[in-house]
Amino acid sequence: MKTHLIALDLDGTLLDNNKNISLRNRSIISKLRELGHKVCIATGRPYRASKDYYNELLLDSPIVNFNGAFIHHPKDPANFPAKHTPLDIGIAKTIIETCEAFRVENIMVEIIDEYYLRYRNRGFSDAFTLGELPIKYGNLTELIKEDPTSLLIHPEENNHQQLKALLEDAHAEVIEQRSWGDPWNVIEVVKAGLNKAIGLKKIAEYYDIPRERIIAFGDEDNDLEMLEYAGNGVAMGNAISELKTVANEETVTNEQDGIAVFLEEYFSIK
């Protein structure tokens, strides 16, 4: 069989609800790589929060972080130049000021693998910092000095949709925003036009693999463009309904090893 490119979202897709990769998923990925197929990760996470999974799978491929805002090759940067597409710092500061007016729980500003926090120990911050301390925390409009890769905003639950609508009205032409799934009520903001499909296309070109031989798995709205781009977009059983609508196929849930179930059948591997 000709070489395929297999793109894996992490949370809610490759990872179970305890944020682990199951033995069955890990085994099928290893077998497919032995057969010459290419496997990559495409995630909204920064690299610091995805590199352990990258290493666990023994990958040697490029990776898509921040939903396409940072595309790079941890093992071969010379032959795959990193592409970083940050937000304009002025726009970022305006958004931060708007969020301050809404008295949000917390704001995280990411710049590749470094981050700044509005409040050091409030709301979602512990879940995304992996025990690493921020560069600084406090007044973000004064602290950040360069274009950020992304903003993570944790609004009060009753203000989530109102804040999203306000940001859409004010900045629709220059930002993309996504809502994260449970358990965190988080809004992610990156530069307009960015998505995982952009990163997947760059990786496919690197390996000279056509779209019809790309298989992509996902579960949330940040996977929409990637599943539409792939020749075979596969929605997890736990995916949002909108993703299932655009997907070519559906597998079982992340808790049921949906990736392995699909790939074992697709490639006729027991």
Q: What are the residue numbers of the active site?
A: 9
- Which of 183, 152, 165 is CA-nearest to residue 66? 152
Indicate the Cα dihedral angle 49, 52, 56, 58, nearest 10°: 90
Using the structure block, give the residue that is written with the tokens 């909108």.
Answer: 242
Query: Pairing mode, if any, of strands 175-179 and 187-191?
Result: antiparallel
Give the SS3 label for residue 250. Answer: strand
Q: What are phi and psi of 45, to 5 degrees?
A: -70, 155
For residue 60 the two structure tokens come to 């040697």
Residue 98: partners with Cβ closer than 8 Å, 6 or more residues away: 163, 166, 167, 170
Whole-angstrom distance, CA of residue 220 vs CA of residue 12: 8
Give the SS3 label for residue 164. Answer: helix
Whole-angstrom distance, CA of residue 216 vs CA of residue 10: 12
